[in-house]
């Protein structure tokens, strides 16, 4: 599993409490309702102990813990616990609908907040003022927002095998490592990438990735295209494998040209990676084909020439490790807090959007005159009357804010 969908939702904030002091010696007890706790956020954490995204195949939903509501005696509710979701190192996080890259978790331990928790509501003690001595209202907690994400895993390997379908990549990696991909005599046998550890001696080993076969036009999405080209991006070196006895009409040298052209079209910097070009199936190729082939040849089935190819790969991997490429940076896009905006719904009907205005009306009882006075003062302070006038609202316009509805009266 190198692709998955993930639904994340922040925990709901706890509600604020309406409470007043009740003490015998105190003649006029004041408000002492505590605040609700914030809801827990959901974090994605890169973990090198995971190898795939299979954990999200049947269970794609993750949610932070809800905050606890406040109580009297100025007791604040407990904050909801954050949820940490482990993902493999090399996971790229995208918005499922826009495709925008949100985070690139390329190093072990990297954390990214996928969704925040809802804020807890304020208790009535927070609304005490000189003009409001006994507030009988408090705020409800915010509901946690949710979003769908698309997770893509880019394998972290030293060498990526690149070749046409049926070039013998799976046979090669199964012969030199413990990886056991499916091997058959038809194209596109490999439908998911495989990793194998190649160990030459006690001091020499490297990780090899068997990437599903590429065809001409792969950089434009043909065949398995972009779905697997991304696994080549993080490899230190490339092993371009040509089929010396092709089942198709593409000669070996033409295969190499096509593969390099597709890599360059997908990511031009891939052509600057160190690479070894190898011809496979030397045991079945005729003398003319071998004579016309200018690169090393091998047979993954009989092991002819395999040791020499592995030695070449080990050398270029060692050189790449001495001078590693710059580490990929984490991409974290944090949208600016959205201000208040007006959405026309119909003739003289509008809806206001924005966290501040929605919080201003998130009270537990708006039938209380003091609560309505607070809402009116808060909306005026946020410039809502000016926004509605600018949007063309007339006397008696119906205005919606979340579940709260009122009639507009120009100032």
Domain range summary for the chain, segments of one domain joined by + = 1-153, 159-322, 341-407
Tell me how far apart the alpha carbons of residues 263 and 277 are, in angstroms, rounded to a whole number: 14
Is 103 in contact with 89 (CB distance < 8 Å)? no
Q: Assign domain 341-407 one CATH number from 3.30.300.350, 3.10.129.10, 1.10.150.120, 2.70.98.60.
A: 3.30.300.350
Question: What pLDDT, on a 0 to 100 scale, did the predictor assign at position 332?
Answer: 53
Percentages (nearest 5) of helix, strand, coil residues in the chain: 25, 25, 50
Give pTM, 2 decimals: 0.68
Distance of CA 358 to the CA centre of its chain: 28
Question: What pLDDT, on a 0 to 100 scale, did the predictor assign at position 217?
Answer: 53
Distance of CA 411 to the CA centre of its chain: 46
Question: What pLDDT, on a 0 to 100 scale, did the predictor assign at position 213?
Answer: 62
Tell me how far apart the alpha carbons of residues 343 and 357 are, in angstroms, rounded to a whole number: 14
Question: What pLDDT, on a 0 to 100 scale, did the predictor assign at position 189?
Answer: 45
**Residue 306, SS3 per DSSP:** helix
Using alpha carbons only, give the angle 306, 311, 315 rounded to the nearest 5 degrees: 150
Question: What pLDDT, on a 0 to 100 scale, did the predictor assign at position 409?
Answer: 84
First to last CA, the chain: 59
What is the torsional sign of CA 196, 198, 202, 204?
A: negative
Question: What pLDDT, on a 0 to 100 scale, did the predictor assign at position 232?
Answer: 81
| Consecutive 10-residue averages of pLDDT for the chain (411 residues) | 88 92 72 93 89 84 95 93 91 90 88 92 89 86 91 82 84 80 44 75 81 60 56 84 83 90 87 92 89 92 92 90 57 57 88 86 81 86 88 89 85 73
Is 119 in contact with 359 (CB distance < 8 Å)? yes
Tell me how far apart the alpha carbons of residues 277 and 410 are, in angstroms, rounded to a whole number: 76
Q: Assign domain 1-153 one CATH number from 3.40.640.10, 3.40.50.2300, 2.70.210.12, 2.60.40.420.
A: 2.70.210.12
Distance of CA 79 to the CA centre of its chain: 25
Question: What pLDDT, on a 0 to 100 scale, did the predictor assign at position 263?
Answer: 86
Q: Which DSSP letter does residue 125 get? A: G
Tell me how far apart the alpha carbons of residues 218 and 319 are, in angstroms, rounded to a whole number: 29
What is the torsional sign of CA 345, 350, 355, 361?
A: negative
**Would you identify the CATH topology of the domain 159-322?**
Rossmann fold (3.40.50)
Number of alpha helices (DSSP H) and beta strands (DSSP E) in the chain: 8, 17
């Amino acid at each position: 599993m190198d692709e998955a969908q993930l639904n994340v939702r922040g925990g709901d904030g706890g509600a604020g409490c309406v409470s007043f002091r009740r003490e015998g010696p105190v003649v006029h007890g004041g408000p002492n309702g505590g605040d609700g706790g914030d809801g827990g956020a959901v974090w994605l954490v890169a973990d090198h102990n995971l190898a795939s995204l299979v954990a999200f195949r049947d269970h794609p939903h993750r949610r932070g813990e809800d905050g606890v509501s406040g109580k009297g005696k100025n007791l604040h509710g407990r904050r909801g616990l954050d949820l940490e979701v482990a993902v493999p190192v090399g996971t790229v996080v995208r918005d499922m609908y826009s495709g925008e890259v949100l985070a690139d978790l390329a190093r072990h331990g990297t954390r990214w907040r996928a969704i925040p928790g809802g804020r807890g509501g304020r208790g009535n003690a927070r609304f005490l003022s000189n003009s409001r001595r006994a507030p009988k209202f408090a705020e409800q907690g915010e509901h946690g927002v949710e979003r769908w994400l698309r997770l893509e895993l880019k394998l972290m390997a030293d060498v990526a095998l690149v070749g046409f379908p049926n070039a013998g990549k799976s046979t090669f990696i199964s012969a030199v490592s413990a990886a056991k991909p499916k091997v058959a005599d038809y194209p596109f046998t490999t439908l998911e990438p495989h990793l194998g550890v190649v160990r030459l001696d006690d001091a020499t080993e490297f990780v090899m990735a068997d990437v599903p076969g590429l065809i001409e036009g792969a950089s434009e999405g043909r065949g398995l295209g972009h779905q697997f080209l991304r696994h080549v991006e993080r490899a230190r070196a490339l092993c371009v494998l040509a089929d010396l006895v092709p089942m198709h009409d593409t000669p070996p040298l033409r295969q190499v040209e096509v593969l390099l052209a597709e890599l360059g079209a997908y990511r031009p910097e891939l052509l600057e990676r160190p690479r070894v070009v190898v011809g496979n199936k030397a045991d079945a190729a005729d003398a003319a084909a071998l004579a016309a082939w200018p690169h090393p040849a091998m047979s993954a089935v009989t092991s002819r020439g395999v040791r020499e190819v592995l030695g070449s790969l080990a050398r270029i991997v060692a050189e790449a490790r001495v001078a590693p490429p710059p580490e990929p940076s984490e991409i974290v896009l944090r949208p600016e807090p959205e201000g208040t905006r007006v959405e026309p719904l119909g003739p003289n009907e509008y809806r206001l959007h924005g966290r501040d205005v929605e919080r201003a009306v998130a009270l537990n009882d708006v039938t209380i005159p003091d609560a309505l006075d607070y809402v009116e003062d808060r909306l005026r302070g946020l410039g809502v009357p000016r926004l509605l006038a600018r949007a063309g609202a007339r006397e008696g316009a119906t205005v919606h804010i979340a579940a709260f509805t009122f009639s507009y009266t120009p100032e």
